[in-house]
Structure formats: structure tokens, C-alpha cells
A and B are shown apart, each in its own frame.
Chain A
Amino acid sequence: DAGVIQSPRHEVTEMGQEVTLRCKPISGHNSLFWYRQTMMRGLELLIYFNNNVPIDDSGMPEDRFSAKMPNASFSTLKIQPSEPRDSAVYFCASSLGGFSNQPQHFGDGTRLSIL
């Protein structure tokens, strides 16, 4: 079975540019999560969706970050404009039924470098 699929795997861009990260969750999963991982702060939950509806976006750093889930099989995380401090690995995860009683399954991440 296909796991969570993220693209691109690597992104290098100059500050000020718009960055769009993409995620395809596991088919049938109804919850989707976006995380950011850095050495300094570890894994941070940015936002999660349940049935395509954003439930908690309190982890989104600032207005430069936005996330959408137009349908059950696709989500995007957008940074505009990007800054060097946004450099990190961004993970998408999905689960069956929220986070409270089912494990999340992670993609292999997008390694983002903002120059």
C-alpha cells in the first residue's frame, strides 16, 4: 500500500519566493497533519485537518504560512514570502480518525532550504 506521499523531497529557493509543499495522504485516512522539524525545536505540529476542515492551526508560525486541503487526497502548505528561518524538514502525516486514538503515518518529508 502506498504511504503518505510528499513532494518535492528537496526544495532550495531564495528568500522572498513563494514555496508550496504538497501531500497526498493514505487513502481512506480522514485526518491530515503538517509538521516542521528542526534541530533546535524538534517536531512541531503546524496544523491539522479532519475531513478536509482545518481543526487547529495554532502551530502555524505566522501569516506567511497557509495550508489548504481541497479534497480528501491532497493538501498543500504554502509559505509566502519565505525567509531563511523557515529552513527545516516539513512532514505530512495522516491517520484514521484524528490523533486521539490512532497512530499517525508520516511521509518522508520535504527538506526546505531558504537562502
Chain B
Amino acid sequence: GESVGLHLPTLSVQEGDNSIINCAYSNSASDYFIWYKQESGKGPQFIIDIRSNMDKRQGQRVTVLLNKTVKHLSLQIAATQPGDSAVYFCAEVGNQFYFGTGTSLTVIP
């Protein structure tokens, strides 16, 4: 999962396996959450979002789960591909906007 500080959490998965990236958010008043993917040399790219009135949302090969009780967000990537290798950030939005520090995903061919 994500943490504040210098160390970027890492996750390595085999190609074809499912990936789960976790994020703990801090503000119980946050009501909108976004996952971004950042590849080397590029800006963060929007993947999927979810509002606090939902606990699950699915996109193409991605699912976001929200557990407001424990302030936890996860991103599931199905059938992970080499092109999924990147840093993934969660962002929480309430009256302010906060980016997490990111998780580095490496897909092993």
C-alpha cells in the first residue's frame, strides 16, 4: 500500500496475474477518489474514479473498491500486462485534494 515518506512501495506480478494496489486515505470527509497511472517521463493519467456513495466501480480490466469504514481504497487490475508497469497514485478529494505517494508496479513477462 501507499505510505508517506521517501520509500515508494513496490509490487511485482507475473504477466497474466491479477494485481491489487492499496491506498489508505486520511480524511474521513473525503468523498471522491481517483486512481492515476504514471509512466516514466509522462504525467499522471486518469484511470478510474469513485464517489463515496459507492463501494465498487468497474472499468475495462480495472476495479476500484472503497471501504469507508477503514478508509481504504484499492485498485484491482485483471490479467496484468507489461504495459501496466507504472507508478499508481490514489487521490482523495474533500475540501482539499491530496495525492498519495504512489506504488510502483512491475509486470514480469
Contacts and interface: CB of A to CB of B under 8 A. Distances in A.
A100 B93 contact: yes
A45 B43 contact: no
Contacts of B6: 39-40
A108 B42 contact: yes
Nearest to B44: A106
B88 interface: no
A42 B43 contact: no
A109 B32 contact: no
A12 B34 CA distance: 33
Contacts of A81: none
Contacts of A107: 43
B7 to A, nearest CB: 10
Contacts of B36: 106
A43 B46 contact: no
Nearest to B35: A103
Contacts of B45: 106
Interface stretch (B12-20, B71-79, B97-105): B97-105
A43 B45 CA distance: 14
Contact of B43 (A93, A101, A103): A93
B44 A91 contact: yes
A45 B97 contact: yes
Given A42-B102, A100-B32, A106 B97 contact: no
A43 B41 contact: no
B25 interface: no
9 contacts: A4-B43, A40-B6, A99-B93, A100-B32, A103-B34, A103-B46, A106-B36, A108-B42, A108-B43
Interface of B: 6, 32, 34, 36, 41-46, 49, 51, 89, 93, 97, 99-102
